[in-house]
Amino acid sequence: MRGIYPGTFDPITNGHLDIIKRATRIVDDLVVAVGHNTEKVRTFDIETRIQMVRDSVQDCPNVEVVSFQTLLVDAAKEQGANVIIRGLRAISDYELEVQMAIMNRTLDPDIDTIILVASKEYSFISSSLIKEIAHFGGDISKFVPESVLKYYKPTGRE
């Protein structure tokens, strides 16, 4: 089984990394697919987001990192993946995740979605909260992989 874990990863968080590590226990290989995503306002450009993910998964065997700007089912096919991995933090994620899972299976019945429930210690972490905390000079080191920290400039706080 080859999985594809798509996301914006702006930036990758410990919650994403937890899903990646747990997914590698289910699938034989995992492709982490960093989306260009036209709808979201992005903090980091695609190259930086890919680099942050690559640095974070260095120790994970059988994980590749790619970018995509096509339909997810087309990216999955191109990567030879037969299962989509997604994470679910709260009921607020549920509606969109289920909608996307059904839509993707309608577009390509050969590709199914596995939704992993977030571990409780990471279920409150989102990229947008991280951005907000970092913007105001808060400490994000408990919430993101170490490789992400260097992309945040010091705030000048003593």
Q: Residues with catalytic annotation?
A: 16, 40, 89, 127
Interface of this chain with ligand ADP, residues 34 to 53, rule: CB under 6 A? 37
Q: Which amino acid is at 51?
A: Q
- Provide the mask over 108-137, with x wherever binding to ligand ADP is found by CB under 6 A and - wherever it is not: ----------x---xx-xxx----------
Residue 24 binds ligand ADP, judged by CB under 6 A? no
Comparing C-alpha atoms, which of 136, 81, 88, 157 is closest to residue 112?
81
- Which of 93, 108, 149, 151 is the binder for ligand ADP (CB under 6 A)? 93
Nearer to ligand ADP, 82 or 119 (CB): 119
**87 backbone dihedrals φ, ψ, rounded to 5°:** -115, 150
> What is residue 32's three-state secondary structure?
strand
Residue 13 binds ligand ADP, judged by CB under 6 A? yes
Position closest to ligand ADP via CB: 15
> What is residue 136's three-state secondary structure?
coil
* Strands 112-117 and 2-7, sheet pairing: unpaired
Interface of this chain with ligand ADP, residues 73 to 92, rule: CB under 6 A? 86-89
State the DSSP string of 33-49: EEE--SSSPPSS-HHHH
Residue 8 binds ligand ADP, judged by CB under 6 A? yes
- Which of 4, 19, 23, 52 is the binder for ligand ADP (CB under 6 A)? 19
DSSP state of 28: S
Q: How far apart are CA 9 and CA 7, in angstroms?
A: 6
> What is residue 7's three-state secondary structure?
strand
Which of the stretches 15-23, 58-66, 102-110, 130-138 binds ligand ADP when contact is defined by CB under 6 A? Answer: 15-23
**Chain positions contacting ligand ADP, by CB under 6 A:** 6-9, 13, 15-16, 19, 37, 86-89, 93, 118, 122-123, 125-127
